[in-house]
Amino acid sequence: MVNVYGSKATRFGFGDALVELGRKDEKIFVLGADTVSSVAIDGFQKEFPNRFANVGIAETNLLGMAAGLAVAGFIPFVSTYGVFASGRPWEQIRTTICYSNLNVKIGGSHSGLMVGYDGATHQALEEISIMRCLPHMTVVVPCDVVETKKATMASAYHAGPVYIRYGRETIPTITQESDKFEIGKANVLKEGTDVCIAACGTMVYEALMASEILEKEGIKAQVLNIHTIKPIDKQAIIDSCKKCGAIVTAEEHQIFGGFGSAVAEVVVQNCPVPMEFVGINDTFGESGKPADLMVKYHLKDVDIVAAARKALTRKK
Amino acid sequence: MNTDELKKVAVEVRKDIIKMLELAGSGHPGGSLSAVELVVDLYYNHMNFNPKNPTDPNRDYFILSKGHVCPVLYAVLARLDCICCDELCTLRKIGSRLQGHPAMDKHLPGIEISTGSLGYGLSIAAGIAKGMKTLNKANRVYVLMGDGEQQEGSIWEAAMAAPHFKLDNLCAILDYNGLQIDGQVKDILNIDPIAEKYKAFGWNVISIDGHDFKQVDNAYVQAKQCKDKPTIIIAKTVKGKGVSFMENVAGWHGKAPNKEQTAQALAEIEAAK
């Protein structure tokens, strides 16, 4: 039985955290880029108009001004859709923010295929790859609204630049307030011995559902929620691989260079075991109902199950 | 400092630029030399900057958006005793605090943020200026840009934002020397009429001769007095100013002088005293 405690879009976790942070700390400054209410930062705007700026459809300036505000001593949070928060201003993030190790926190909303009807131009599928390769950058991909709020709160006082990846669509809430959250520490959600399913973001729920299917076939899957892609919890991955002898990764993201690759870097160097990747296979998305897209692009529990079975055939 | 004293400082700064580039074996003389009067007057007469306390929270900020001309900044910081003159010999050497483009991670006093990728400094300066407004602080923000740099689209996002947010504590300076790497700016990608463009974007625009200390000084004074609008000082300059064989030659954008050229350059600069 997968415990579900409700359902809510993760962007509201980001937005709620900002308001709470804003009430505690005058150094919190928030910037938006014409997508203010859809990325749920309008709550902060309403309560702290003096510490908010909407720079319009100008994402390079969004990140540049955030960098300036960090130099001026603020803790700036920016948010817009993932493609435009990470891709368009990538060099500004690299050279202005990461190279100077500035305290800028980037909320990349509307990630993944589940953006839905807007289609490929707005479905961010690359942020993990292009953010984790930057020195000083911390990358967090929370699994639900509760975890997104915790990640946002934690990022404010985590030194240096942070990228938080979350989404537009309503998804199941699978963690609780009382669950521990620490940047850089993965959580074992379910113990297992036959195969480890390591997932991040929206795929954590699918991983739990997959483990239920596998259980009925007598396969005990460990489910590991790796919310922090960088710095990745190497020990948790190594422990899981030693215990299970096979690993599957799952992400709502391109396979090339993404979450699975980050996990593979640890596996290959420390505990090589049969490994399979579930993710987007080098293609762009398209318009459609979010749930239908997840099926079409093979990002469901059944796809994780198939990958697990494949990994198990190679297990010695 | 009066004009005569400033001219003496400018001579020393030009000599420092040539010497440090020759020792480094690489770097950017042209755009460093064109900016000398602009940076000297700013630091000696206008910036609220204490070389003994470079992180004073009440300081003015200077962002070198055209980061490749860091030799002029390093030379001025050395003349102000913010860094040691000897350290200028370490420009671009491995392990040096004086990186080829200003680097914050080397903790050189007087460097607010790493720059060098063109087109970002105006946004950064706008962000700092917005921060000062939010805190009701009187700190001013200065940003030096190049003219080739105006070709970057990111400049124009910031150019829209600064007047929109009424950042009258922001003063941009455009080192309008007419040249970039591949030739004249007007031939590569024409930026003119640049003054009219900034005016249309809502800026207070002051056009001057960037090598005339009186005009430079007056411009900084006027900028401080302008309310509700950011100011841009468009300074007509000569790339390579002070060295006859470098003046107005695009090839001296990013090439260090050899020993003979250095000797000739230093002699010419000294003679102009």
Task: Convert the pLDDT of each residue in A90-129 to its tens digit.
Answer: 999 999 999 999 999 999 999 999 999 999 999 999 999 9
Q: Which residues 133-162 in chain B show a CB within 8 A of chain A? A: 134-135, 153-154, 157-158, 160-161
- The answer, for A68 touching chain B at a CB cutoff of 8 Å, is yes
> Is pLDDT at A316 greater than 90 in this prediction?
no
Q: Which of A55, A64, A69 sits opposite B131 (nearest CB)?
A: A69
Question: Which one of A50, A68, A73 has the shortest CB-CB distance to B124?
Answer: A68
Which positions in chain B touch A101 (Cβ < 8 Å)? 104-105
A313 touches chain B (CB under 8 A): no
* B249–chain A nearest CA distance, Å: 29
pLDDT of B180 > 90? The answer is yes
Measured over all CA atoms, what is the biggest interatomic distance in chain A, rounded to whole angstroms? 62
Q: What is the mean pLDDT of chain B?
A: 97
- In this prediction, residue A144 has a pLDDT band, given cuts at 50, 70 and 90, of very high
Domain count, chain B: 1
- pLDDT of B273 > 90? The answer is no
Residue A294, Cβ density class (10 Å: 0-12 exposed, 13-18 middle, ≥19 buried) = buried
Q: Give the pLDDT score at A32.
A: 98
Residue A195 one-letter amino acid? V
Chain B residues in contact with A72 (beta carbon < 8 A): 127-128, 130-132, 135
- Chain B hits for A55, CB-CB cut-off 8 Å, are 157, 161
- From the options 1.10.10.10, 3.40.50.11900, 3.40.50.970, 3.40.50.170, give the CATH code of A7-172: 3.40.50.970
Q: What distance in Å separates the CA atoms of residue B117 and residue B83, rounded to the nearest whole number?
A: 24
Contact B117 A56 (CB under 8 A): no
B235: domain CATH number?
A: 3.40.50.970
Select the residue of B131, B158, B160 nearest A72 (Cβ to Cβ): B131
Structural domain boundaries enclosing B182: 3-271
Contacts of B132 in chain A (CB under 8 A): 72
Looking at the predicted structure, is the pLDDT value of residue B11 above 90? yes
Q: Name the residue with tokens 């990228």.
A: A163
Interface contact flag, B124 A96, Cβ < 8 Å: yes
Whether A7-172 shares its CATH topology with A187-313 is answered yes
CA-CA distance, B191 to B188, in Å (whole number)?
9
- Angstroms from B266 CA to nearest CA on chain A: 35
DSSP state of B89: G
Provide the chain A residues 14-33 that lie in CB contact (below 8 A) with chain B.
Answer: 29
Percentages helix, strand, coil for chain B, rounded to the nearest 5? 50, 10, 40
Strands (E), A203-288: 221-225, 228-230, 247-254, 275-280
* Range 69-88 of A in CB contact (< 8 A) with B: 69-74, 76
Instruction: State the complex-level ipTM.
Output: 0.94
Identify the three-state secondary structure at position B243: coil
- A59 among known catalytic residues: yes
The C-alpha of B262 sits at a distance from chain A's nearest C-alpha, in angstroms, of 33
**CATH top-level class for A187-313?**
alpha beta
CB A238 within 8 A of CB A270: yes
Pairing label, strands A75-81, A28-32: parallel
Q: Where are the domains of chain A?
A: 7-172, 187-313
Residue range B20-31, pLDDT digits in tens:
999 999 999 999
Among residues A20, A59, A212, A215, the one annotated as catalytic is A59
The C-alpha R_g of chain A, in whole angstroms, comes to: 19
Counting Cβ atoms within 10 Å, is residue A42 exposed (0-12), middle (13-18) or buried (19+)?
Answer: middle
Look at chain A and count its residues. Answer: 316
Provide CB contacts within 8 A for A268, sequence distance 6+. none
Residue among B162, B173, B174 nearest B228 (CA): B162
